[in-house]
Amino acid sequence: MSNVPVAVVTGSNKGIGLAIVRALCKQFPGDVYLTSRDPGRGQAAVAQLQQEGLQPLFHQLDIDDLQSIRALRDFLKEKYGGINVLVNNAGIAFKVHDTTPFAVQAEVTLKTNFFGTRNVCTELLPLMKPYGRVVNVSSMVSSSALGGCSQELQQKFRSDTITEDELVQLMTKFVEDTKKSVHEKEGWPNTAYGVSKIGVTVLSRIQARLLNEQRKGDHILLNACCPGWVRTDMAGPKATKSPDEGAETPVYLALLPSNADAPHGQFVSNKTVRPW
């Protein structure tokens, strides 16, 4: 078993994920794993970074596939005895003008962005080593979508006592409500991506609370963040930040020094804690 520290970035063969891997290869004192669904694309991204003189490693990971998540979990456990840094970056978004029915967009978007991310956390958080860092990449859209929710939903999503099961029920209800075309009547905003990222931000708050209760002495810090509006396939060419600029906040949170006790359980944008 290796004593080398290890960092894993999900969904990192392009865009912000690739930029996070690049920065970690330069700054993290250990092995950095670039992961992607498609091994070909992942290996190509690794080769690209190798040409820049960096040494990322590759492991296949499809966050929609529990077997794939568990294969990564078992590999990390066996080779490293755990994990030091986890950046949950993998996510999808439909384009604004996509004609896919909204109920389908809701189901597909939440499957990956919320349920997939949650499954990764369920399998990998128990492997986090003391002083580990977990970064869940959310979005400012989670804040604006929260503002578009009914007062009742806002109260639930801001609650300091909401459980993971209750959150899962709410996310499931959103998908069901879209299928019945009653989501707006039920107090939901008209953005599947936004609701999926509300889920990621609230999940992060819950996970941080559980770490405090169960592993207080391990000094693990877990946060959600917004990378900003970044020029990627997802956000398009008009966005204001380059991928490397978008990676700054996630990397800052991934590399919080071992003597730091904050931020934890926060929503962070431009390296600043934002109100939720």
Segment 179-202, tens digit of pLDDT? 999 999 999 999 999 999 999 999
Task: Report the percentage of the chain scoring pLDDT > 90.
Answer: 90
The range of the structural domain enclosing residue 212 comes to 6-95+110-140+197-274
φ/ψ of residue 223, rounded to 5: -140, 160
Torsion of CA 134, 168, 154, 201, to 10 degrees: 10
Measured between alpha carbons, how far is residue 105 from residues 47, 93, 94, 99, 126 in Å?
Answer: 33, 9, 7, 9, 31
Q: Is residue 234 predicted with pLDDT exceeding 70?
A: no
- Asked if the structure places residue 170 within a domain, the reply is no
The number of folded domains in the chain is: 1
Q: What is the pLDDT of residue 271?
A: 95
Q: Do 32 and 7 form a contact (C-beta atoms < 8 A)?
A: yes
- Asked if the structure places residue 82 within a domain, the reply is yes
Q: What is the pLDDT of residue 239?
A: 66
Adjacent-strand bridge partners of 157: none
- Asked if the structure places residue 160 within a domain, the reply is no
- Asked if the structure places residue 251 within a domain, the reply is yes
Q: Do 246 and 257 form a contact (C-beta atoms < 8 A)?
A: no
Report, as residue numbers or ranges, the catalytic residues. Answer: 193
The bridge status of strand 57-60 relative to strand 31-36 is parallel
More confident residue, 47 or 237: 47
| Tens of pLDDT, residues 158-184 | 999 999 999 999 999 999 999 999 999
**pLDDT averaged over every residue in the chain:** 95
- Asked if the structure places residue 209 within a domain, the reply is yes
| Tens of pLDDT, residues 108-141 | 999 999 999 999 999 999 999 999 999 999 998 9
| Tens of pLDDT, residues 84-101 | 999 999 999 998 889 999
Burial tier of 155 (Cβ tally within 10 Å: 0-12, 13-18, 19+): exposed
Q: Is residue 211 predicted with pLDDT exceeding 90?
A: yes
DSSP letter string, 66-87: HHHHHHHHHHHHHHHSSEEEEE
Q: What is the pLDDT of residue 231?
A: 72
- Asked if the structure places residue 151 within a domain, the reply is no
Q: Is residue 27 predicted with pLDDT exceeding 70?
A: yes
Q: What is the pLDDT of residue 227?
A: 83
CATH number of the domain bearing residue 246: 3.40.50.720
Q: Is residue 214 predicted with pLDDT exceeding 80?
A: yes
Q: Is residue 80 predicted with pLDDT exceeding 70?
A: yes
- Asked if the structure places residue 131 within a domain, the reply is yes
- Asked if the structure places residue 28 within a domain, the reply is yes
Q: Is residue 232 predicted with pLDDT exceeding 70?
A: no
Q: Is residue 229 predicted with pLDDT exceeding 80?
A: no
Q: What is the pLDDT of residue 84?
A: 98
Q: Is residue 260 predicted with pLDDT exceeding 80?
A: yes
